[in-house]
Amino acid sequence: MKLGGFSLNTFPKGFMSCSINAGIKDNTLDFTILYSKVRASAAAMFTKNQFCGAPVVIGKQNAADGYLQAIAVNSKNANVATGDKGLKDAQKVTEAVAKELSIDSRDVLPSSTGVIGVPLPVEKILTSIPGLKNQLTENGLEQSAKAIMTTDTYPKFRTRKIGNVTISAMAKGSGMIEPNMATMLSYILTDAAIEPAQLQKMLKNAVDVSFNSVSVDGDTSTSDTVVAMANGLAGKVDLVEFEAVLTDLCIELAKEIARDGEGATKLVEVQVTGADDHVIAKKIGKSIINSPLVKTAIFGEDPNWGRIMSTIGNSEHQVNTGAVSVSFGDVYVFKNGAPAEDKRTELEEYLKTNEVLIKISLGDGQGSSTVWGCDLSYDYVKINGEYTT
Amino acid sequence: MKLGGFSLNTFPKGFMSCSINAGIKDNTLDFTILYSKVRASAAAMFTKNQFCGAPVVIGKQNAADGYLQAIAVNSKNANVATGDKGLKDAQKVTEAVAKELSIDSRDVLPSSTGVIGVPLPVEKILTSIPGLKNQLTENGLEQSAKAIMTTDTYPKFRTRKIGNVTISAMAKGSGMIEPNMATMLSYILTDAAIEPAQLQKMLKNAVDVSFNSVSVDGDTSTSDTVVAMANGLAGKVDLVEFEAVLTDLCIELAKEIARDGEGATKLVEVQVTGADDHVIAKKIGKSIINSPLVKTAIFGEDPNWGRIMSTIGNSEHQVNTGAVSVSFGDVYVFKNGAPAEDKRTELEEYLKTNEVLIKISLGDGQGSSTVWGCDLSYDYVKINGEYTT
């Protein structure tokens, strides 16, 4: 387990959860309820994919008023590209969960992740829901982080304290990862008292530098959803401090997603500085993180740095090629527009690490961005060549 | 050999070539001269990569007046990201070739392909040039197509007749293939009499629907160059017929590049129809051809068609999701916005082919485009994890 340790008393007050097997595909955990004893302020961000999932459509509606009380998540089936039936299925699950919890169905956010284009086995889920209220516990959040996994190899979960206040955050995602607003799925629960508008603003800022800065394969998922719930049971919190911790938590989870990218053997961080603005820096960073030629070279620990130059050169933004410098960690390969002194041996040595840092300076602009990704290995091909069969 | 047969008399009149080993990396053919006995009309298109190769910089200058007499190509080293020395090296090779052939150095187009960021071993090339004039032959073009290969597994070469006129075309390219103006390298030689401006216009049209419609890995190369030379020795030609044959030749070579993409086991053709315009259709087609999730599913012969829906949904252009239909060959998986009747067995059967056709209808717009690519296999990872080491 790559998880940091935490103790039971670090979970936020008033949140309960349960995770079960509803038999959606196999006998592993596949259905999860996250529940707050009181209605909570809520902020949510969703995929921009036009073929977004049925649960995303309903989740957007239900989170729109800034309040939620429960999240109902299934793995093993994304309920995407499933037509009208898919929408009805998602609504049925939402209503059944609300009934079981005796809450308003408009305070339930449904979420699904898994294969696209296969009808949701909704009857299996509906027959599993009655009685779940009695299975809710206050110490099951880590199990929930495990239950929402698909091709993830380990759960992604973090908890932090700010005085009396606690934030717990979980995420899943390993493939089809290039979040555009949010990651595959992430749920952030806190007992702090925060107004919905404030929560949404902080979440947006945090997501931009975390989940929206990571890519495994350049494919934005149809199910991306990140939701924050703040139920206020621990009282007020310093908002500046809260946003800093929230951002840090999101970055940690985003990096875990890249590190656990399908087939990944190395976490890759690209720091771009000196760009005209943040957007350009991020685009160039993403293009490097997504280049299959760069990714396979890193997997092979091959010092083929010329592929980075090619990727930078393909930017749609004007690059002053004479001002560009590139280093791996502190090993410079290209300095101020010309190849650096040959450091092939040092570079080969450096590439043996399992965390590769690529630093790119484009000049003296003020725009910078850090993005994360992973290498492209045989196992990526294996996992994705055999995913549904 | 996947080449079609051809006889010696199908080569265009007045063109000669030779290919040798200059010892750039190993003992295989790595240096080629293509030569016309008379100065020829010329049209050329180059990569838009901002870190374009030194030979591209010089080639642009020398082709600008619409005339060329020779092309000098080395494989095994791209002479890219090599600073001022790279430019001087490319100029030295150009001048040495011109001197050997007793022609103006401004009528020589230099071309290099291979690893990026490694200084060109220019002395090895310069010492190999004297005496090459005597090695020029009129029947060596197929060997030249072989000499310009890098990770290609077979040469790409085609010849066509139009009455008395002959066109021969060669191309190389297997990785770093998403041409943006031209392919990695392609040379088209004809003995037709065509004015430079006319030749450039026809070449641009042909390249748009051929080389610019293919992608192996989404990475536009720093060396992309396509050059057409028309020396006029066979006299005039019907220009409409010539353009049709030229376009057809370019499409055939582009498809060969996709079929021989690094590690490829299947050629993938995506036909997009019903888009608002050609540009949108092409962008969506390219996004499918470049999706690692779609590519690995095709490699694994996995009927995971939902990944295509996700890729369409990520288009930056508005898609009427309710009007979308998708089929593999004639096996429909999604029709008018809803999943088609389950054809999993037929689809699995269809995917066993080595030429996969994906047809996407976006509605009733007039824009359409056909693009080509290949699957993503273990061998792609192997080839690119070990390329320079």
CA distance B312 to A7: 44
Tokens linked to A212: 């929206």
Last residue of a domain, one of B233, B257, B281: B257
Cα A196–Cα A201–Cα A205 angle in degrees, nearest 5: 145
| Sequence-ordered list of residues with C-beta below 8 angstroms from that of B179, at least 6 positions apart, any chain | B47, B173, B207, B211, B212, B214, B215, B220, B221, B224
Last residue of a domain, one of A195, A228, A257: A257
Statement to judge: residues A252 and A293 lie in one domain: no
CA distance A243 to A263: 33
Catalytic residue (one of B159, B183, B220, B370): B183
Scanning A245-274 for CB atoms below 8 A from B yields none
First to last CA, chain B: 28
**Which residues from chain A sit within 8 angstroms of residue B386, using beta carbons?**
300, 302
Statement to judge: residues A43 and A119 lie in one domain: yes
pLDDT in tens, A24-81: 999 999 999 999 999 999 998 888 888 888 999 999 999 999 999 999 999 999 998 8
Query: A1 in a domain, yes or no?
Result: no
Helix axes B239-259, B196-208, angle to 10 degrees: 40
Statement to judge: residues B77 and B197 lie in one domain: yes
Task: DSSP for A182-196, please give it.
Answer: S-SEEEEEEEE---H
Query: What was the ipTM of the complex prediction?
Result: 0.77
Q: Does A345 touch chain B (CB under 8 A)?
A: no
Among the residues of A323-377, which ranges form H helices?
344-350
Answer whether residue A100 shows pLDDT above 70: yes
Scanning A317-336 for CB atoms below 8 A from B yields 318-319, 321, 333-334
Statement to judge: residues B241 and B290 lie in one domain: no
CA distance A99 to A280: 48
CB neighbours (10 Å) of residue B85? 15
Check CB contact under 8 Å for A222 and B299: no
pLDDT at position B212: 80
pLDDT at position B272: 96
Instruction: Tell me if residue B94 is catalytic.
Output: no
Query: B86 in a domain, yes or no?
Result: yes
Among the residues of chain B, which ranges form H helices?
54-63, 83-101, 122-128, 141-147, 196-208, 239-259, 278-290, 292-299, 306-313, 344-350, 378-385
Helix axes A306-313, A278-290, angle to 10 degrees: 130
Report the length, in residues, of chain A. 389
Whether the CB-CB separation of B269 and B355 falls below 8 Å is answered with yes
**Which residues from chain B sit within 8 angstroms of residue A342, using beta carbons?**
none
Report the CATH number that the domain containing residue A197 is assigned in CATH: 3.60.70.12
| Sequence-ordered list of residues with C-beta below 8 angstroms from that of B159, at least 6 positions apart, any chain | B6, B10, B11, B166, B167, B168, B169
Q: Does B62 touch chain A (CB under 8 A)?
A: no
B220 is in an annotated binding site: no
Whether the CB-CB separation of B56 and B81 falls below 8 Å is answered with no
Last residue of a domain, one of A257, A276, A300: A257
Per-residue pLDDT tens digits of chain B, which is 389 residues long: 333 344 445 789 999 999 999 999 999 999 999 999 999 999 988 888 888 889 999 999 999 999 999 999 999 999 988 888 999 999 999 999 999 999 999 999 999 988 888 899 999 999 999 999 999 999 999 999 999 988 788 898 989 888 889 999 998 887 776 665 455 688 888 989 999 998 998 988 888 888 887 777 777 777 778 889 898 888 898 898 999 899 988 888 888 888 888 889 999 999 999 999 999 999 999 999 999 889 999 999 998 898 899 889 888 889 998 899 999 999 999 999 888 887 888 999 999 999 999 999 999 999 999 999 999 999 988 888 876 64
Domain that holds residue B360: 267-385
Statement to judge: residues A271 and A226 lie in one domain: no
CA distance B158 to B245: 11
Q: Does B180 touch chain A (CB under 8 A)?
A: yes
Check CB contact under 8 Å for A219 and B293: yes
Query: A2 in a domain, yes or no?
Result: no
Tokens linked to B308: 């295509």
Nearest to B87 by CA among A322, A375, A191: A322
Scanning B91-150 for CB atoms below 8 A from A yields 115-119
pLDDT at position A175: 73
Whether the CB-CB separation of A343 and A329 falls below 8 Å is answered with no
3-state secondary structure of A296: helix
For chain A, what is the domain count? 2
